């Protein structure tokens, strides 16, 4: 496992030693590359807005379980604007809409109801 950080002087050897004690390698951004952390910061911002601002994680095991469930939701169900409202792991063609007079929808609650996924009933 690794953790990325920038080259600011506030990150001392003692800071890196905390991660090293947990078997986490500390990687620094390339010199003079201010946008190198942009992808990581985007993901952290999404996690914070969609989960962490609404939920208290009590320990590492709980955090891992929450992030694993959210990862599945993010990659298999959550719509993404850049992908024409399709999740990253979706088939290339969106499913054809079903035309029924009575459409039933099933709600799947995730993370204690913090996130809901909706599916058409068969």
pLDDT tens digits along 49-108 = 999 899 999 999 999 999 999 999 888 888 877 777 888 887 766 666 666 666 788 899
Give domain status of residue 26, yes or no. yes
Give domain status of residue 45, yes or no. yes
Q: Which range of residues forms the domain containing residue 66?
A: 2-92
CA atoms within 13 A on the CB side of 51: 21
8 A C-beta contact, residue 62 and residue 111? no
Give domain status of residue 65, yes or no. yes
The number of folded domains in the chain is: 1
Query: Global pTM?
Result: 0.60
CA atoms within 13 A on the CB side of 5: 15
Q: Which residues pair with 25 in a beta bridge?
A: 2
Give domain status of residue 122, yes or no. no
What is the β-pairing status of strands 105-110 and 115-120? Answer: antiparallel
């Amino acid at each position: 496992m690794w953790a990325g950080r920038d080259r600011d002087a506030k990150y001392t050897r003692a800071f890196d030693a905390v991660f090293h004690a947990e078997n986490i390698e500390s990687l620094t951004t390339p010199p003079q590359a201010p946008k190198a952390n942009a992808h990581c910061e985007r993901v952290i911002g999404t996690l914070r807005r969609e989960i962490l601002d609404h939920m208290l994680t009590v320990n590492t095991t709980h955090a891992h379980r929450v992030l694993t469930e959210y990862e599945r939701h993010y990659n298999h169900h959550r719509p993404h604007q850049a992908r024409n409202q399709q999740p990253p792991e979706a088939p290339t063609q969106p499913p054809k809409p079903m035309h029924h007079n009575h459409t039933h929808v099933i709600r799947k609650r995730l993370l204690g109801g913090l996130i809901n996924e909706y599916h058409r009933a068969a």
